[in-house]
């Protein structure tokens, strides 16, 4: 199904928001990513046609911004900040332990396809490290002042929620 | 001390519109729109000495006065892209005291004759975006936004725009490109955004914290505002304190507060009996201030304002103060910062794009213990070929920690490399 078929009202609202059509590209890409967690070639072409952009121009936007993805990963992307302020408060060790508990390396997905662990740049949560965000389609949720125990509880909750969706 | 920006710490539920209004909220906007000319607001803000809180410290009222009066419409864009490692102040203002911030956006719009304001949030602030959209809808329903504000002919609409993860979009021309639906890459200047900005129109771009100051200045006046802070850096500032301190967090203090007061009185000092080794007062973009037994008192007694931090070899920037204790070596620290800038370089200027790639590989080699003395010279040489040679400040920023670490902490590098 195309984006206009699936999200007609939202697409209309996004297109009406800006004085310049092309400004709609970022909100439309979030919409395209909502269900599968990544933007398909078809969606890029559809958005391009809507906004008068080449598909490659849309793909260039997807490639430039780190919250857009063009490939499938786990249902939930667990994005741990390991930048300097967080690292001074133990983020590297946290990330390493999380990966070993989940049996993955940074960038890999758990065998059940639910969780992809990623190391990302500063998330403006430096005083509450270790911290990470969970990206689920077009939704981003912060988790701060985390411990490994709390994180593993969250992982189980996400796995249960993810199965229901499936 | 009373909080003027982080007012939620004194007034419960100030994030609710009725509570904010019961505590004087939107009095400043009503006063401005119904009884002041836009130029009077600009003059008041100029007199207040308010300087941009995003990092550059440029006088806000002066910035506004650059907009030409023969080209319309004018736009106000709020920079809520807060992405500097070590900065987390705008987030707290928007999450906890949203209406003071939004009133500030509205005041800036009125001052420069804009009928439309954009708030550009980093993509990770997805939840804050949703929250601000609700706040904006409440303001519209209460007649605080929309057509004919307070019975005048002035109309105003505010819109949020969500980025998608790119530090460079905090650079104001990259931010405009991003709103226009392009890759967030800086524009060549001139023309400056004040003349050719969003959609080619005159545009003011202000940081969240800067805007949150405006209701105070309009309500209480420039003279009152100048009673806080220093002569050249008036007012209060939210300092984001992070790294090796007992109590990291945001602290709203007058500009000119000393490092000692921030780190030891408010931050509770350094944990585990460690000593301060380095301070990065402007986040990952800082030159690292060396702190040791000989420099300790000089650094600690330095007032944190736009002028004095330069005297100890760094900049105040957005006041994102990262504390590094003596358990860390500087080759590790710059390995972190260069990794960040390598990832965040937008790729437009070759010195920054390639320079950061090479700096990262050299620093990584040194950090892993495979470097030589030659690598130290090479690293300095690459940094010097990036600094000052790019369209925007990201290139310069990427070299600050590198060159200052090499110059001020040579022992950390010498012990890591082979002769």
| Cα–Cα dist B122/B54, whole Å | 14
Q: Phi and psi (nearest 5°) for A23?
A: -60, -15
Of the residues B129, B136, B242, B338, the best mutation for testing chain A's interface (the one with the most A CB atoms within 10 Å of its CB) is: B242
Mean pLDDT calculated for residue range B41-57: 95
| A64 three-class SS | helix
Q: Judging by DSSP bridges, how do beta strands B320-325 and A76-81 pair with one another?
A: unpaired
| Cα–Cα dist B189/B200, whole Å | 13
Structure tokens at B393: 């400040």
Give me the residue from A20, A123, A127 closest to B180, CB to CB.
A20
Q: Are A33 and A68 in contact (CB under 8 A)?
A: yes
pLDDT at A162: 87
Q: Does A134 touch chain B (CB under 8 A)?
A: no
Question: Chain A 42-81, CB below 8 Å of chain B: which residues?
Answer: 51, 53, 60-61, 64-68
Q: Cβ separation of B126 and A20 shorter than 8 Å? A: no
Task: Using alpha carbons, list the distances in angstroms from residue B304 to A154, B184, B215, B222, B291.
Answer: 40, 32, 24, 21, 15
Give me the residue from A22, A29, A121 closest to B167, CB to CB.
A121
CA distance B351 to chain A (A): 19
Mean pLDDT calculated for residue range B131-159: 97
Q: Does B400 touch chain A (CB under 8 A)?
A: no
- pLDDT tens-place string over residues A26-45: 999 999 999 999 999 999 99
CA distance A21 to chain B (A): 9
pLDDT at B418: 85
Give me the residue from B82, B126, B167 closest to A140, CB to CB.
B126
Angle at A18 between CA A13 and CA A20, to 5 degrees: 130
**Which has the closest alpha carbon to B207: B107, B120, B309, B85?**
B120
Q: Cβ separation of A64 and B184 shorter than 8 Å? A: yes
| Cα–Cα dist B346/B175, whole Å | 12
CA distance B213 to chain A (A): 21
pLDDT at B335: 97
In DSSP terms, A77 is beta-bridged to A116, A135
pLDDT at A166: 57
HSE-CB at A95 with a 13 A cutoff on CA atoms is: 25
Give me the residue from B184, B284, B343 closest to A84, CB to CB.
B284
Mean pLDDT calculated for residue range A88-117: 97
CA distance B78 to chain A (A): 16
**Which has the closest alpha carbon to B51: B362, B340, B298, B319?**
B319
Chain A: residue whose CA lies nearest to B182? A61
| Cα–Cα dist A76/A162, whole Å | 8
CB atoms within 10 A of CB B255: 26
Mean pLDDT of chain A: 96
Give me the residue from A19, A61, A83 closest to B340, CB to CB.
A83
| Cα–Cα dist B95/B127, whole Å | 9
Mean pLDDT calculated for residue range B209-218: 98
- CATH number assigned to the domain covering A3-64: 1.10.10.1590
Give me the residue from A66, A88, A124 closest to B243, CB to CB.
A88
Interface confidence (ipTM) of the complex: 0.96
- Domain residue ranges in chain A: 3-64, 76-165
CA distance A22 to chain B (A): 5
| Cα–Cα dist A69/A57, whole Å | 15
Q: Phi and psi (nearest 5°) for B367?
A: -60, -35
Residues of B in contact with A53 (CB under 8 A): 181
Q: What is the 3-state secondary structure (H, E, C) of chain B?
A: CCCCCCHHHCCCCCCCHHHHHHCCCCHHHHHHHHHCCHHHHHHHHHHHCCECCCCCCCEHHHHHCCCCCCCCCEEEEEEECCCCCCCCHHHHHHHHCHHHHHHHHHHHHHHHCEEEEEEEECHHHHHHHHHHHHHHHHHHHCCCCECCHHHCCCCEEEEEEECCCCHHHHCHHHHHHHHCCCCCCCCCCCCCCCCCCHHHCCEEEEEHHHHHHHHHHHHHCHHHHCCCECCCCECEEEEEEEECCCCCEEEEEECCCEHHHHHHHHCCCCHHHCCEEEEECEHHHCCCEECCCCCHHHHHCCECCCCHHHHCCCCCCCCEEEEEECCCCHHHHHHHHHHHHHHHCCCCCHHHHHHHHHHHHHHHHHHCCCCEHHHHHHHHHHHHHHCCCCCCHHHHHHHHHHHHHHHHCHHHHHCCCEC
In DSSP terms, A76 is beta-bridged to A115
Give me the residue from A61, A126, A141 closest to B242, CB to CB.
A126
Q: Does B91 touch chain A (CB under 8 A)?
A: yes
- pLDDT tens-place string over residues B349-385: 999 999 999 999 999 999 999 999 999 999 999 999 9
Q: How confident is the model at residue A25 (pLDDT cuts 50, 70, 90)?
A: very high
The pLDDT of residue B259 is above 70: yes
| Cα–Cα dist B286/A57, whole Å | 35
pLDDT at B265: 97
Q: Does B166 touch chain A (CB under 8 A)?
A: yes
Of the residues A33, A81, A85, the best mutation for testing chain B's interface (the one with the most B CB atoms within 10 Å of its CB) is: A85
- CATH number assigned to the domain covering A76-165: 3.40.30.10
Angle at B247 between CA B211 and CA B132, to 5 degrees: 30
Of the residues B90, B181, B397, the best mutation for testing chain A's interface (the one with the most A CB atoms within 10 Å of its CB) is: B181
The pLDDT of residue B419 is above 80: no
The pLDDT of residue A165 is above 80: no
Q: Cβ separation of B284 and A67 shorter than 8 Å? A: no
Q: Cβ separation of A66 and B249 shorter than 8 Å? A: no
Return the H-helix or E-strand segment holding A120. strand A115-120
Q: Cβ separation of A64 and B166 shorter than 8 Å? A: yes
Q: Does A87 touch chain B (CB under 8 A)?
A: yes
Residues of B in contact with A61 (CB under 8 A): 181-183
Structure tokens at B400: 């600050």
Residues of A in contact with B88 (CB under 8 A): 124-127
Mean pLDDT calculated for residue range B269-292: 97
């Amino acid at each position: 199904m195309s984006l206009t078929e699936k999200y007609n009202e939202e697409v209309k609202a996004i297109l009406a928001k800006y004085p310049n059509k092309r400004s709609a590209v970022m909100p439309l890409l979030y919409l395209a990513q909502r269900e599968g967690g990544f933007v398909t070639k078809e969606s890029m072409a559809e958005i391009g046609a809507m906004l008068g952009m080449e598909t490659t121009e849309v793909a260039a936007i997807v490639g430039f911004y780190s919250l857009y993805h063009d490939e499938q990963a786990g249902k939930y992307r667990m994005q741990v900040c390991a930048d300097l302020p967080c690292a001074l408060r133990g983020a590297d060790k946290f990330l390493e332990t999380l990966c070993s508990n989940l049996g993955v390396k940074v960038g890999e997905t758990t065998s059940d396809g639910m969780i992809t662990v990623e190391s990302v740049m500063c998330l403006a949560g430096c005083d509450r490290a270790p911290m990470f965000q969970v990206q689920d389609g077009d939704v981003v949720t912060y988790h701060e002042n985390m411990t490994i125990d709390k994180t593993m509880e969250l992982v189980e909750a996400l796995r249960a929620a993810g199965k229901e969706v499936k | 001390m009373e909080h003027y920006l982080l007012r939620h710490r004194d007034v419960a539920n100030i994030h609710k519109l009725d509570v904010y209004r019961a505590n004087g909220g939107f009095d400043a906007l009503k006063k401005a729109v119904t009884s002041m000319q836009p130029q009077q607001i600009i003059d008041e803000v100029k007199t207040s000495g308010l300087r941009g809180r995003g990092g550059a410290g440029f006088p806000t009222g002066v910035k506004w006065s650059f907009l030409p009066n023969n080209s319309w419409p004018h736009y106000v864009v709020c920079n809520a892209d807060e992405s500097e490692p070590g900065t987390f102040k705008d987030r707290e203002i928007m999450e906890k005291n949203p209406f003071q911030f939004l009133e500030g956006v509205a005041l800036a719009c009125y001052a420069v004759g804009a009928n439309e304001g954009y708030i550009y949030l980093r993509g990770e602030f997805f939840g804050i975006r949703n929250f601000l959209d609700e706040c904006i809808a409440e303001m519209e329903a209460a007649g605080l936004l929309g057509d004919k504000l307070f019975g005048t002919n002035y109309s105003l609409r505010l819109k949020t725009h969500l980025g998608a993860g790119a530090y460079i979009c905090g650079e104001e021309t990259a931010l405009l490109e991003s709103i226009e639906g392009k890759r967030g890459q800086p524009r060549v200047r001139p023309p400056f955004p004040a003349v050719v900005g969003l959609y080619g129109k005159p545009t003011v771009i202000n940081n969240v914290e800067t805007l949150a100051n405006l209701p105070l200045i309009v309500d209480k006046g420039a003279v009152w505002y100048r009673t806080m802070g220093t002569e050249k850096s008036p007012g209060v500032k939210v300092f984001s304190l992070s790294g090796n301190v007992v109590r990291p967090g945001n602290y709203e203090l007058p500009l000119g507060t000393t490092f000692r007061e921030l780190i030891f009185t408010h931050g509770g000092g350094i944990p585990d009996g460690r000593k301060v080794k380095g301070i990065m007062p402007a986040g990952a973009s800082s030159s690292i201030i060396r702190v040791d037994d000989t420099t300790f008192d000089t650094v600690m007694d330095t007032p944190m304002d736009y002028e004095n931090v330069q005297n100890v070899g760094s900049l105040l920037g957005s006041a994102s103060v990262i504390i590094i204790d003596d358990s860390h070596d500087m080759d590790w620290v710059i390995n972190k910062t260069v990794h960040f800038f390598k990832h965040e370089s937008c790729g437009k200027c070759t010195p920054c794009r390639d320079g950061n790639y090479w700096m990262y590989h050299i620093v990584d080699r040194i950090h892993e213990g495979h470097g030589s003395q030659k690598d130290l010279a090479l690293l300095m040489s690459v940094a010097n070929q990036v600094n000052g040679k790019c369209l925007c400040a990201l290139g310069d920023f990427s070299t600050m920690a590198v060159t200052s670490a090499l110059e001020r902490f040579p022992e950390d590098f010498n012990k890591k490399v082979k002769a």
